[in-house]
Amino acid sequence: MYSDKVMEHFKNPKNTGEIPDADGVGTVGNPVCGDLMTMYIKVKDKRITDIKFKTFGCGAAIATSSMTTDMAKGKTLEEALKITRADVATSLGGLPPVKMHCSNLAADALHAAIKDYNKKQEASNEVKK
């Protein structure tokens, strides 16, 4: 049912935990299945220097969170925003159709964290004016 890559990221997830002084935080959830994901990013020179996640959900939700953080780490914000739901699923060797919503959550949490970072930067720039 699950690819070896999904099982690897589920059994040994990368970048777990939280970043207390994160530059951006994105939380998304799916009320139907109960999955909840939060991604934390640190940004320097518009590049994601650190990223972590906390996920409450099924094995696919954990695996997609782990894969998404792997894919985004070291990328510019612009590059990370281009990571799609399909990219996450493809990188994991595919997901069962019933679990595709998990890749949606992981990509959405990343995009929400970047959006939060950009909002904080705009607010900071307004204060400096």
Q: What is the pTM of this model?
A: 0.91
Per residue in 9-30, pLDDT tens? Answer: 999 999 999 999 999 999 998 7
Q: Is residue 129 one of the residues assigned to a domain? A: no
Residue 80 CA from chain centroid, whole number: 10
The total of other beta-carbon atoms located within 10 Å of residue 86's CB is 12
Catalytic-labelled residue, pool 51, 63, 102, 114: 102
Give 20-62 as a DSSP string. TT-SEEEEEE-TTT--EEEEEEEEETTEEEEEEEEEES-HHHH
Catalytic entry in 7, 25, 33, 36: 33
Report yes or no on 50 lying in a domain. yes
Domain that holds residue 96: 4-124
pLDDT at 11: 93
Q: Is residue 95 part of a domain?
A: yes
CATH of the domain at 111: 3.90.1010.10
Residue 21 located in a structural domain: yes
Flag whether 108 is in a domain.
yes
Per-residue confidence at 55, pLDDT binned at 50, 70, 90? Answer: very high
Q: pLDDT band at 57, cuts 50/70/90? A: confident
Residue 123 confidence class, pLDDT cut points 50, 70, 90: confident
Tens-place pLDDT, residues 91-117: 999 888 777 766 678 999 999 999 999
* Percent with pLDDT over 70 in the chain: 95
For this structure, is 58 an active site residue? no
Number of domains in the chain: 1
Please confirm, yes or no, whether 102 is among the known catalytic residues.
yes
Classify residue 16: in a domain, yes or no.
yes
Proportion of the chain above pLDDT 90, given as a percent: 69
The pLDDT score that the predictor gives to residue 60 is: 87
Whether residue 11 is contained in a domain is answered as: yes
